[in-house]
Amino acid sequence: MRPDPRRPADPTPVVVIGATLTVRAVVEQATRELERLGFAGAAVGGREIVAALLDVGRHWPALHGETRADALLLGRALHAARRLAHGMPFQYAVGRASFRGLTLEVDERVLIPRPETEQLVEAVLDETRDARGGTAVDVGTGSGAIALALAEEGAFEHVVGIDLSADALAVARYNAEALAQRLRAAVEFRQGSLLGPLGAARVRAIVSNPPYIAFDEAASLPATVRDWEPMTALLSAEQGMAATRALVRAASARLEARGLLALEVDARRASLVAELVAADAAFADVSVRLDLAGRERFVLARRREWP
């Protein structure tokens, strides 16, 4: 059974005897552990582990080294250092990821949120900021990153996160509880496939970063992705298009008039997704947006006003 994201993952018990433990000492011990295990960039790694565990800026530990620490922080830092040195992605090693200013608990049950997905949220905010109210839906919510960012920054009354994985929803619900004081919209999470859990409800926006990697492309993924992140959230049939195609088919019946469909897509297939959406007579104003690297990464469209 995978660990509860609310608890540090089995840190090695640490007994501190004598001098008061400080942040600097924790950084030094985490750095030495990384060095012992042959991790390149150990000095930076030790500092960034401690910064992540304390949820502070990456340079904070260097500037506040004399701040008192405790044995629990030391144990978590050493455990994270060992996980990192054995190839685990940094966010999983420390159990946290940053997303648009939110700190999310993450582990191997959910994808690590990416900067591109932060841009997807930005596009949705830009397209919906002129009116308030309504419901936004995040399909394939994972850690809840998109749903929670929309609930904090958007003008929606209600946000629904949907995922097929009960494990992922456990992480998302924990994050929603931890961030409850920051959220402006009511948030709920439902289990199911695509838009099935909505029933007959009509919504103002449907947003998704669906699985879009083809099965025969899995072997070419970086090891930190292929060996650690959940394949069900990455891979899709029909050369990566099955989940996206099914979502587009279902979306027109669930969107209000002028409702927004916003998808993150594989840059290699953006034109295919745009053609797919444009071929559905229910959609208008189809556009392809670029990510910060200049790649075609997002497809947006509006539901026509007629039924």
Residue 208 pLDDT: 98
pLDDT digits (tens, 9 = 90+) for 15-43: 444 458 999 999 999 999 999 999 999 99
Last residue of a domain, one of 94, 120, 153: 94
| 79: CATH | 1.10.8
Domain that holds residue 70: 23-94
Integer angstrom CA distances of residue 233 from 110, 136, 140, 213, 229: 8, 20, 8, 9, 8
Please identify every stretch of the chain with a pLDDT value under 70, giving residue numbers as ranges: 1-19, 307
Nearest Cα residue to 92 out of 211, 188, 215, 227:
227
Contact between 70 and 21 under an 8 Å Cβ cutoff? The reply is: yes
pLDDT digits (tens, 9 = 90+) for 282-298: 999 999 999 999 999 99
**Rounded distance between C-alpha atoms, residue 254 and residue 245, angstroms:** 15
Last residue of a domain, one of 70, 94, 118: 94
Residue 8 pLDDT: 40
Q: Mark whether 84 and 205 lie in a shared domain.
A: no
Q: Mark whether 178 and 76 lie in a shared domain.
A: no
Q: Mark whether 51 and 105 lie in a shared domain.
A: no
Does residue 33 lie within any of the structural domains? Answer: yes
Residue 273 pLDDT: 98
Count how many domains the chain has. 2
Residue 22 pLDDT: 96
Does residue 184 lie within any of the structural domains? Answer: yes
Residue 19 pLDDT: 58
Nearest Cα residue to 61 out of 72, 70, 48:
48
Contact between 204 and 256 under an 8 Å Cβ cutoff? The reply is: yes
Residue 20 pLDDT: 82
